[in-house]
Structure 1
């Protein structure tokens, strides 16, 4: 069995990636008479948190001669950006229907972009046949530990926070959050049409799910990773679901109230919080990306 990452691994990852990532700000706000914290991770290099896990994976061993990955967009951009920082050639497989804005930015890093298949799973099968260091989007202990560095910053900067709320796809960010949360409540939020984490925690084992959501390009994993599942099950994460209409409304409100332009996936935690489903007196919502 693959060794699971630990809180100590997150601390090590934070030291590794700090020179190459932005320490994104936290906005303290009051909305509808309730306090809330917003971790502005959409301001991260590459436009999402994904560069954290990619960098940690590539820095945890000798840099490879070539890095390969598959992605719905954000992870591919994170890996391509990380590879560029380290001077490593990168190949990124994406589904044919990847948003053009994400495809264009991946190519702008100098990485080779290959469109293949209808889903992330299709692209991943093809990518694994390529030579080079394959960096999984979420089912990799080093990637999970790297993603946890965003929450490590939250806990260090705002010690009064009592819950961390993240959007969930394959579970990498959620698992990293659980490792770094220091015992605080961890809440995973998914669209009703992309519920890999929710379904797995409900079933007690990873299961395949159908994908149909406005946020599917970022949260469209058909199955949670084995590593994230093991971490989240042990951590007792609270899984929540939100509808597409709620996500779009939350996305619009973030722009109208704070002038924060984020992708649908990043608005999912705010949607759950607006609906009153998030526990805690002072939760922090991680706005995970802006690559719509």
Structure 2
């Protein structure tokens, strides 16, 4: 097994990832929200528009250091953002990237992927369909198989975001992240079952939060006393996304608004110092305007 793949997911791995990707990703910007004690972590400003750039950079850099990048390049299945991050990181190393997406992936993500030089293949209706095709391609071509989330190097890279938020906001009480739509509840269902389970997915945020199952590592991390699983409705997600635009002129995809939706719907304060992660900039602003117009028409 290559050193690049023989990894454990722990705090030491996150620190190693931070050193490996330093200078290659943008440090997170934090900004105060309108609510007292609430800060926004503006990770939608990251390269490729999401935190996924951190994991992709760490994954490919580690394999590059180990001499484990095959001539066939790298392949990944994604709802869009992980594929964008993989293609971006691959381009920096002049490595071919083949990205599998569900056929209904947002056009803006498909176009950006092709702009990064990726070979884009649209398969099936769900992330799981794209993943199966990606695994078959990797076996046949010899391409290095990456993953949207279920790999220690990918997860360690993602973990660097929390380290930066904690450094920027001393005394932080709560971080709101990984909130799920009611009908894309892979983590919530796994916590309820006590094991990884498959779930159906159907939500306005399904393109980025539509995994049918979580990783065992994610479940283990969430099975701690200081972690709470929260679900939000599509109506709440849409309202939070629109509020970000109307109050701050921030345009993000639906998946990026789930954390704010959870904060807006919380029955009680989440602490004196709270960070809400806003992550996911790969969207078409026109659908936000259309949604707002539909709401105004309905109100009349």
Q: What TM-score does the superposition give when structure 2 sets the normalisation length?
A: 0.86
Is 1:26 aligned to residue 30 of structure 2? yes
Which stretch shows the higher mean deviation, 57-66 or 154-163?
Answer: 57-66
Q: 1:266 to 1:12 in 2, by over 3 A?
A: same
Q: 1:3 deviation in Å?
A: 6.0
Could you say what the CA RMSD is over the residues aligned between the two structures, in angstroms? 1.4
How far off is 1:77 after superposition? 0.3
Task: Give the SS at the match of 2:37.
Answer: strand
Contact 1:97 1:118 in 2 (8 A): yes
Cα deviation 1:234-279 (Å, max 9, x = unaligned): 4652100100010110001111111111111111111110112562
Query: Quick one: which of 215, 223, 247 aligns to 1:225?
Result: 215
CA distance in 1, matches of 2:79, 2:206: 8
- Superposed CA deviations along residues 48-79 of structure 1, whole A, max 9, x for unmatched, are 11111111111123351310000000000010
What SS is found at the alignment partner of 1:69?
A: strand
The correspondence of residues 56-135 of structure 1 with structure 2, limited to 5 A, is 56-62=58-64, 64-65=69-70, 66-130=73-137, 131-135=142-146
- Counterparts of residues 7-26 of structure 1 (less than 5 Å): 7-26=11-30
TM-score for the superposition, normalised by structure 1: 0.88
Secondary structure (helix, strand or coil) at the match of 1:148 reads: helix
Alignment of structure 1 residues 1-292 onto 2, 5 Å: 4-31=8-35, 34-62=36-64, 64-65=69-70, 66-130=73-137, 131-167=142-178, 189-234=179-224, 236-277=226-267, 279-292=270-283
CA contact (8 A) 1:166 1:288 kept: no
14-23 vs 91-100, which moves further: 14-23
Mapped partners of 1:233, 1:141: distance in 2: 18
| Residues 1:95 and 1:39: Cα distance change in structure 2 (over 3 Å) | same
- SS of 1:38 mapped into structure 2: strand
Q: How many residues align?
A: 268
Question: Post-superposition shift, 1:4?
Answer: 4.2
The answer for the alignment partner of 2:292 in structure 1 is: none
Find the aligned partners of 1:235 and 1:133 in 2 and give their Cα distance.
36
Corresponding residue of 1:172: none
Distance 1:75 1:149, change over 3 A: same
Distance in 2, matches of 1:12 and 1:260, equals 32
1:131-172 deviations in Å (ceiling 9; x for gaps): 2111111110111000011111101111121111113xxxxx
Secondary structure of residue in 1 paired with 2:163? helix
Q: Which structure has greater strand proportion?
A: 1
**Aligned mates of 1:85, 1:24 — CA distance in 2:** 21
Task: Provide runs of 4+ in structure 1 moved above 3 Å.
Answer: none
Question: Which entry has the higher C-alpha Rg, 1 or 2?
Answer: 2
In the alignment, is the contact (CA less than 8 A) between 2:28 and 2:165 conserved in 1? Answer: no
User: What is the rounded CA distance, in whole Å, between the counterparts of 1:288 and 1:235 in structure 2?
Assistant: 25
Q: Are the counterparts in 2 of residues 4 and 227 from structure 1 also a CA contact under 8 Å?
A: no
